[in-house]
Amino acid sequence: MEDLLEAALDAAVAAGASYADVRSVESESEALSVRGDVVEALERSDSEGFGVRVLVDGAWGFAASYDLTNEAAAPTAAAAVEVARAAATTAESPVELVPEPAHRATWSSPLQVDPFSVSLEDKVGLLAAATRALSVGPAIRTARGTMDVLRQRTLFVSSEGAAIDQTVVHTGAGIEATAVEGSEVQTRSYPGSFRGHLEAGGYEIVTAMDLEAHAPQTGEEAVALLRAPDCPDRETTVVLDGHQVMLQVHESVGHPTELDRVLGMEAAFAGTSFVGIPDLGSMRYGSELVNITSDATTPGGLGTFRFDDEGVEAQRVDLVRDGILVGFQTSRETAAALGAERSNGTMRAEGWENFPLIRMTNVNLLPGEGSLDDILADVDDGIYMATNKSWSIDDKRKNFQFGCEIAWEIKRGRLGRMLRNPRYTGITPVFWAGCDAIAGAGEWRIWGTPNCGKGQPGQTMRVGHGTAPARFRNVSTGTSQ
Amino acid sequence: MSDLRVGADEARAAAQAVLDLPGADGVEVTVHVSAAGVARYANSQIIQATERDELRVYVRVVTDGRLASATTNQLGAERVATAARHALEAARSSLPDEEFTGLADPDVVGRADPIGRVDAATASVSAADRAAAVRSILAAAGGGRAAGVVETGVQAYGVFNSKGIDCFDTYTRAVATALVDDGEATGWGESSSHAVGDLDWDAVGRLAAQKAAAGHGAGDAEPGVYEVVLEAPAVATMLDYLSYVGFGAKQVLDGESFLSTMTGAEVAAPSVTIADDARHPRSVGIGFDFEGVPRRRTEVIEAGVARGPVTDLRTAAQLDAPPTGHYSGSNEFGPYASNVVLEVGDQTYEDLVGGVADGLLVTRFHYVNVLDRPSTLLTGMTRDGTFRIRDGAIAEPVRNLRFSQSVLDALRAVTGVGRDLHAFAPDFASFGSTVAPAIRAGEFRFSSGTSH
């Protein structure tokens, strides 16, 4: 593979590229889904290929191929150069890259138990046992367990002399129960919705979840939701669990602080941002409790690596400090717009076939103090919501509406009645300004979001968010039905 | 862009090499190959230009009533054989699947004819051609900052199995989109077809610029229930989500589809007929599903009445219904209607707007998501051109609004269906298409506003 990459690099430079990088990705994965006694999916996949990214006449070009013969190197590089030359006919401002040392390194994400060493029989058995435990009564229409395992090796070489070899392993699982009564449908999941929870690491992540032990309560809550009262329409104090805070951070802080969005590069598809470069260092994004980082070094994060997909070393940078916007997620191309001397290393691509984009690594809300119980104790009248269910936010990331699987009334500092179909709405900086408590390190954990979409061609990225439960004042709540 | 690197003969040969896998009771091989390119532009210049060849081979193996699959992106004999062996090993680790009704038998399900929606000119578009198209859009867009894509490609799918299924179909597609931001407002234009010659680059850019210009000085519209005209891009988004939450037989069996309780009932105005129809002249698709079953036109809502879901072999048996040829490749998700068509009505655009005394015109929606599947309740935002209609004419622009609306409730309130059909492509290289006209609906609920 190394010979192929070097040949493609040489061909790109020979064809006129002022800069070139070549990245190969070799991946293997397993995806399992068990519903009741039926194995709905048991799939093993592999993929490998390479992509050539070039700068010609100040414009980017990219070409990719699954053909791994050395004969494919030159034509693929030539295609990238041809594409770049065509793009250059529209170039108004040539691309310039801030410098980055030419790293030469090898790195692998740590793990305890290689998830591929565990037999498929054991994995199916674990999920089957958990789904049996989910089926707590006749109202449970669907009891499902899922597991996902990925090993991905990326080689990166550049015309500046970089040569990087890194491998990540991601492992995750989850269960969900759907209860149906007439036209009422309610779902509960554990430990998170949308295929559970993934982390960088090995099978120890699945073992630690203890899905079977958590299944009965998950199923019972799905059934109980069928007849729970709807979440009321009101303005009140809302406490969110860590999973929903993850989604809140992702949509209303992570995406708006991607510098390509700020600069209009995502305008037609994902949208832009309500913040601009002039806001840096002065705009109040939230209360003084709100501290948010972009951290590609967080242990266990789906956005954890040693180098991004343009060879920039992993970093931890502040995005929001004491409630003030202080940073953006950048690339070598966009960092110059900030006058920055270096990219903070957030360029990532899905697979070998895609152009890297600014993507969240691990965007983390730093912990505050105390426990969830402490946060609840200070609420005389409010609502506690848990586990993300739906999300929608406008094209500038300002007006949002998020729904959760379940909620409870908070009365005089304690949880009361269960509420179904909870949702809340808000305007991003107003909402974060109302944050008056974040639980401490004891309840802070890293969550994995495996399905973040962005770009054209569309790319699905795995990102991480470290969060803890948090409290927000004066929030508009209601029912999603 | 080059032609496809793999044709029907190569795909068939690779599949046939593993169809008699020792130890397997049945083998199914699906091959997907594509060659596509995109010129993505923003701030009025191409920012990311891509060309790529892709290939995917899916091998599904049955042994002793157990199933599993393996995929690879290499067509070499050794790699496909390894995938087949992996699938067999995985199947032996699985549980007996009592819902499985067997691989498709062509003597039972019939043999699928390819649609062959291929345009040679589209298959040969170069990066320079796409860049020229972007320049045309930019010129037509005037002085505003423009962003969007020009995308062309060719895709092929083959399905082969050990019972004799042997299908291969190819299509081309061209897509152009433009968002123009002139500093005060944004506007949108798009066009899609299997043939690049059908696309008018200038018209895409011009429409986006006109929408942006018309959006200057937008004011607030109070949240509430409005009569609306939804332009075709907005209608297409509603249809995509309606299909996602309710058209598949798996959702019906799981009790999550409106069809679970409303089949045979009036769920929309009589002017509304929605079908999945890959052979519609404006659709872009293939003539079979991923089991090799012929894809049949399926009217899910006919003249306002809910008829029934799309099915695959598994769910058809469970519902005691005929298979419609909509296996998605995922038993977890179930069958999927990927070529949804809302049949045309008789209204011109002017008729639709002219019939509104006081309402809103929506160009398109943004970031839509599902709130409740059985009631088809969605939320999302308007963007790139939202206008007040007064006395049958577009009166003034308004800032974007969040909607919270049941699709079926909106379709029940339809008072006019446009006569001009528009085709929409899914995201780059994805499968399927949506075909829709504009509609007028008597009631549509907007729940909040935003600042732009």
Neighboring chain A residues of B151 at a CB cutoff of 8 Å: 456
Interface of A with B in 235-264 (CB under 8 A): 263-264
Do residues A62 and B50 lie in contact, with contact meaning Cβ atoms separated by under 8 Å?
yes
Given A51, A119, A392, which is nearest B369 (Cβ)?
A392
| Residue A213 to residue B423: CA distance in whole angstroms | 49
CB proximity list for B354: less than 8 A, separation 6 or greater: B392, B393
Which among A300, A315, A346 has a CA at the least distance from the CA of A448? A300
DSSP string, A103-170: -EEEEE---SS-GGGS-HHHHHHHHHHHHHHH--STTEEEEEEEEEEEEEEEEEEETTS-EEEEEEEE
pLDDT of residue B251: 95
Residues 300..359 of A with a Cβ closer than 8 Å to B: which? 353-355, 357
Contacts of A90 in chain B (CB under 8 A): 41, 44-46, 131, 134-135, 138
Residue B1 has pLDDT above 50, yes or no: no
Q: What pLDDT was estimated at residue A138?
A: 96
Q: Note whether B381 and B308 are within 8 A (CB).
A: no
pLDDT at A388 over 60: yes
Measure the CA–CA gap between B102 and B92, rounded to whole angstroms: 17
CA dihedral sign, ordered A75, A81, A83, A89? negative
Q: For A177, which residue in chain B has the nearest alpha carbon?
A: B254
Q: Which two tokens stand for residue B72?
A: 């690879």
- Phi/psi for B222 (5° steps) reads -65, 135
pLDDT band per the 50, 70, 90 thresholds, residue A183:
confident
B91: closest chain A residue by CA: A42
pTM above 0.80, yes or no: yes
User: Any bridge partners for residue A317, and if so which?
Assistant: A294
Beta bridge partners of A460: A453
Q: Which of B54, B67, B89 sits opposite A353 (nearest CB)?
A: B54
Helices and strands (DSSP H and E) totals, chain B: 12, 19
Question: Residue B427 — pLDDT band, cuts 50, 70, 90?
Answer: low
Amino acid letter at B190?
A: E
Most B CBs within 10 Å: which of A22, A37, A39, as the mutation test of the B interface?
A39
Contact between chains at A39 and B71 (C-beta distance less than 8 A): no
Smallest CA-to-CA distance from B185 within B382, B360, B354, B46 is with: B382
Please give the pLDDT value at position B428: 52
Residue A299 has pLDDT above 70, yes or no: yes
CB contact under 8 A, A46 and B72: yes
For residue A405, which of A431, A377, A385, A430 has the smallest C-alpha distance?
A: A385
Asked if residue A457 has a cis previous peptide bond (ω within 30° of 0), the answer is yes
- A120-134 and A211-226 helices, crossing angle to 10°: 30
Residues of B in contact with A38 (CB under 8 A): 95, 97-99, 331
Encode pLDDT of A445-480 as tens digits.
999 999 999 999 899 999 999 999 999 999 999 997
Phi/psi for B250 (5° steps) reads: -65, -45
Residue A459 sits at the chain B interface (C-beta within 8 Å)? no
Q: How far apart are CA B416 and CA B428, in angstroms?
A: 32
Q: Which pLDDT does position A36 carry in this prediction?
A: 87
For residues A381-403, give the mean pLDDT.
96
Torsion sign over Cα B270, B271, B273, B274? negative
Spell out which residues of chain B touch residue A427, defining contact as CB-CB under 8 Å: 450-451
The ipTM is 0.95
Q: Does A25 touch chain B (CB under 8 A)?
A: no
pLDDT-based confidence at A1, cuts 50/70/90?
A: confident
Residue A106's contacts (CB-CB under 8 Å, 6 or more residues apart) are A164, A165, A166
pLDDT over 70, % of chain B: 99
**What residues of A are in contact with residue B135 (Cβ under 8 Å)?**
89-90
Show which of residues 145-174 on chain A sit within 8 Å of chain B, judged by CB atoms: none
pLDDT value of residue B449 = 85
Nearest to B38 among A41, A82, A457 (CB): A457
Largest separation between any pair of C-alpha atoms in chain A = 72
Average pLDDT over residues B158-170: 98
Each residue of A248-292: pLDDT tens digit?
Answer: 999 999 999 999 999 999 999 989 999 999 999 999 999 999 999
Q: How far apart are CA B419 and CA B404, in angstroms?
A: 27
Judge: B46–A90 Cβ closer than 8 Å, yes or no: yes
Under 8 Å between Cβ of A338 and A272? no
pLDDT at residue A37, rounded to an integer: 83
Partners of B90 on chain A (C-beta within 8 Å) are 42-44, 120
CB contact, 8 Å: A132 with chain B? no
* Closest by CA position to B301, among listed B265, B352, B349, B253: B265
Nearest beta carbon to residue A121 from set B93, B377, B452:
B93
CA distance A164 to chain B (A): 23
How far apart CA A439 and CA A206 sit, in angstroms, is 25
Q: What angle do CA B115, B116, B119 make, to 5 degrees?
A: 140
H or E stretch at A53: strand A38-56
Beta-carbon count within 10 A of B136 CB? 18
Q: What's the mean pLDDT in A52-76?
A: 96
Q: Enumerate residues 6+ apart whose C-beta is below 8 A from A88.
A: A56, A57, A58, A59
pLDDT grade for A390, boundaries at 50, 70 and 90:
very high
Chain B residues in contact with A84 (beta carbon < 8 A): 49
Residue in B2, B51, B64, B211 to test binding to A, most A beta-carbons within 10 Å: B51
Q: Rounded mean pLDDT of chain A?
A: 96
Cβ–Cβ below 8 Å for A43 and B44: no
First-residue to last-residue Cα distance in chain B? 40
- Chain B residue with CA closest to A27: the answer is B72
Q: Could you read off the pLDDT of B252-273 as tens digits, one per residue? A: 999 999 999 999 999 999 999 9
Q: A80-117 burial string, b = 16+ CB within 10 Å, else e?
A: bbbbbbbbbebbeeebebbebeebeeeeebebeeebbe
Angstrom distance (rounded) from CA B318 to CA B117: 33
Q: Tell me, what DSSP letter sits at residue A92?
A: S
- Smallest CA–CA distance, residue A412 to chain B, in Å, is 30
Helical pair B201-214 and B127-140, crossing angle rounded to 10 deg: 30
Q: Which residue of A has its CA nearest to B261?
A: A183
Helices (H) and strands (E) in chain A, counts: 9, 23
A121 sits in the region (left: phi over 0; alpha: psi -120 to 50; else beta) called: alpha
Q: Which residues make Cβ contacts (< 8 Å) with residue B373, sequence separation at least 6?
A: A185, B245, B246, B251, B256, B257
Provide the token pair at B315.
């769910």
Structure tokens at B225: 């229930």
A89-106 per-position pLDDT tens digit? 999 889 999 999 999 999
CB A150 within 8 A of CB A143: no
- Rounded CA-CA distance A298/A200 in Å is 10
- Which position has the higher pLDDT, A337 or B177? B177
Structure tokens at A141: 């229409």
Q: Which residue of A has its CA nearest to B376?
A: A481
Task: Please report where in the chains the tokens 């034509």 appear, as a residue.
Answer: A75
